[in-house]
Structure 1
């Protein structure tokens, strides 16, 4: 009975199943309700739901103008962000999708500008009697050294030969003194085999050599030249949306591979005979340790994280954790760390400071990462990081890039979410604790100075380097949408 109730309870799985068969407005309202009720809670689940919803929004949008699509995505993004402001990954995915749309719009404008330039024909050939050319005067057979052609160019109007790199080689055939009409101290190389070919063509003025092609021409453009890439049948406005949808699909693929990509760095940071302390049953941390356990032998001290995550911590240690953050079945935890020969010690939260002096490294998961290098993690993470700071123990945080938010913690108290107080003190003891305010924070804010290293799916970074990653992944105009 309980399994049936769990299967029928709304969550990420039911939302993705109903996303294709319900209307877009109904899907938006469903996700807003799930976020408000905290039926989709974990960062990875919220990111996946947001990415699939925005993919549906883009695919169902009928207007071909990128500006209208940006307004539509901004509208949907504001609604789902307002439903749960503390889930910062929702805003991160919206920003990345907006950046994709703007990038594709710029590419479309660039391709349209290139096509417009291709539609313009080349300038017409100049007449032989014009000022820019001089007719070739054939030389007699007895003239061994004919007089060199002099270019009538004033000294103050002479163009610099290196201003246009494409014509620099052509100007090297003329002596600088010959170009200004002076007598050169070095005789011209008229005996070179290419000199006859040069003299057989009209001499073009240096002004024409360095000038840009004319943008307007009196001759009409041909139908073939007037066909631009955007006018072709294969380059319709639908291709713009297809490119955006492909970009969102890449984001979804990244979300599915992020834990495995982070785990690939495990052997570089976990060494044999180390004692590693971890907190809560983070899926990313568990995969990271499992990857290292295949080649290394070490000891893990697992803090149970009472009262919100202690059951999951016990399940991760004993190998009965059968689901990931989304509640979906996975094969990664059918073989726990103890099955690979790793010694795992489960301790209560109160014993962290006493055992920290024996720990070589602390590895933590996170709920979200802020632009200043701080993080929002499970309640109790700040105590663990502070104890590590006192004992000079390095703190390593494993997190995907999708959790990195461009938000600064000006008011970090507003980032803390509180859960059910009955997990701390049961309601049946309410008469005993009358007059006492019981609080159950779900998250902690950990300052950047308590973190030594971030390991993401794109490498390892210091906390002070995160602002550069923010500038690479989020456009400035998408920070506040």
Structure 2
């Protein structure tokens, strides 16, 4: 059996050098919010991280006999091993690139203002505006009478469904959910409050309803260079069932989440959630799990956060650069690097 020990935990792997540099709205606090689930979703995590860096830049002072660009880059590098594992590598490359390009003669106050402005511009262009473009592309794929299926919750998918409804399109949404987070309930409440007709099921019943579905819309945490998609655990099951029923799967993902890394499975690198979340399941006393605190050599709990969806199960990836097949992902990554956006 393959080892699962390469899986990482967002607090365990926080470098000790980071802890000595944290203050105010700190990266450590953001990490704890990642762990607790108070901040979830790729966009929300990225924005929280960048805003934490803004606070750090605001409070930063260049030490004597050092330059801002070199010293601040070294400080930012302290966080890279943590946030890169949290799928934030491209945003960090952007920030380090902007720091490196600061003129050595630029006054510190002006340099700090410039960096904070660059971060705001990244959030606006790569997330806010990008989502609007993705929504405009995606609604063209929704027709009257469609039955659309989505899994869990995705901010961009929610925007797509609400915008299609505002355009007067008549469709029904199937919200598929799973334990332990049951995030789909949040999406369900907002869609129903909007007036959208919905059906709510758990993932174990997906094969019973997939024959009715016309399209599947999913969000993503990252798109890897081999065309596979990194998303919340359970999405791989959804795409495999959709593929078996020949239902198109459309993945909505901002271009800043495209990455040159390659994953063949979700075991070699993943994020572990709280084991108690899967151990403490409401059920009859006779079905309760053994006390996790008790010594047990043959019982382990692994609460995986992400899944890897094979490219064969994905019909289209909808990005702020248009709609592309999974095979075109390496081209997009190469073109972005040529534009020096991420390096």
Q: TM-score, normalised by structure 1?
A: 0.55
Q: 2:204 and 2:138 mapped to 1: Cα distance?
A: 28
Q: Given the alignment of the two structures, is residue 35 of structure 1 paired with residue 34 of structure 2, yes or no?
A: no
| SS of equivalent to 2:267 | helix
Q: 2:248 and 2:68 mapped to 1: Cα distance?
A: 48
1:356-408 deviations in whole A, cap 9, x for unaligned?
22221111112222222212211111011111112221111112223223322
| SS of equivalent to 1:419 | coil
Alignment of 1:101-180 (within 5 A): 101-102=99-100, 104=101
Q: Which residue of 2 aligns with 1:381?
A: 235
Q: Given the alignment of the two structures, is residue 391 of structure 1 paired with residue 245 of structure 2, yes or no?
A: yes
Q: 1:54 and 1:338 mapped to 2: Cα distance?
A: 36
Q: 2:339 and 2:71 mapped to 1: Cα distance?
A: 16
Q: 2:122 and 2:171 mapped to 1: Cα distance?
A: 34
Q: Which residue of 2 aligns with 1:96?
A: 94
Question: Contact 1:279/1:303 (CA < 8 Å) preserved in 2?
Answer: yes
Q: Which residue of 2 aligns with 1:203?
A: none
CA shift in 2, pair 1:301/1:248, >3 Å: same
Q: 2:232 and 2:218 mapped to 1: Cα distance?
A: 9
Return the offset for 1:62: 4.1
Q: 1:42 and 1:27 mapped to 2: Cα distance?
A: 24
Q: 1:470 and 1:33 mapped to 2: Cα distance?
A: 31
Mean Cα deviation higher: 247-256 or 402-411 = 402-411
Structure 2: stretches of 5+ with no match in the other structure: 1-19
1:417-467 deviations in whole A, cap 9, x for unaligned?
232334334387344997554433222111222212111233222222222
Return the offset for 1:293: 1.2
| SS of equivalent to 1:272 | coil
Return the offset for 1:241: 5.7
Q: Which residue of 1 aligns with 2:160?
A: 288
Q: 2:70 and 2:224 mapped to 1: Cα distance?
A: 25
Return the offset for 1:68: 5.5
Question: Contact 2:250/2:316 (CA < 8 Å) preserved in 1?
Answer: yes
Question: Contact 1:99/1:474 (CA < 8 Å) preserved in 2?
Answer: no
Return the offset for 1:278: 0.6
Q: Given the alignment of the two structures, is residue 277 of structure 1 paired with residue 149 of structure 2, yes or no?
A: yes
Counterpart pick for 2:124 among 247, 250, 253: 253
- Flag the structure with higher strand content: 2
Q: Which residue of 2 aligns with 1:297?
A: 170
Q: Which residue of 2 aligns with 1:445?
A: 308
1:245-298 deviations in whole A, cap 9, x for unaligned?
432220122334443332222321111111111100222211111111122101
Greater RCO, CA 8 A, separation 6+ = 2
| SS of equivalent to 1:264 | helix
CA shift in 2, pair 1:271/1:477, >3 Å: closer
Alignment of 1:274-353 (within 5 A): 274-295=146-167, 296-304=169-177, 306-310=178-182, 312-317=183-188, 319=189, 333=190, 336-337=191-192, 339-340=194-195, 342-353=196-207
CA shift in 2, pair 1:412/1:281, >3 Å: closer
Q: How many residues align?
A: 310
Q: 1:469 and 1:293 mapped to 2: Cα distance?
A: 31
Q: Given the alignment of the two structures, is residue 263 of structure 1 paired with residue 127 of structure 2, yes or no?
A: no
Return the offset for 1:349: 0.9
| SS of equivalent to 1:316 | helix
Q: Which residue of 2 aligns with 1:457?
A: 320
Q: 2:90 and 2:214 mapped to 1: Cα distance?
A: 33
Structure of greater Rg:
1
CA shift in 2, pair 1:70/1:459, >3 Å: farther
Q: Which residue of 1 aligns with 2:69?
A: 69
| SS of equivalent to 1:278 | strand
Question: Contact 2:171/2:197 (CA < 8 Å) preserved in 1?
Answer: yes
Q: 1:86 and 1:25 mapped to 2: Cα distance?
A: 20
Q: Given the alignment of the two structures, is residue 401 of structure 1 paired with residue 255 of structure 2, yes or no?
A: yes
| SS of equivalent to 2:133 | helix
Q: TM-score, normalised by structure 2?
A: 0.75
Structure 1: stretches of 5+ with no match in the other structure: 1-23, 110-229, 320-332
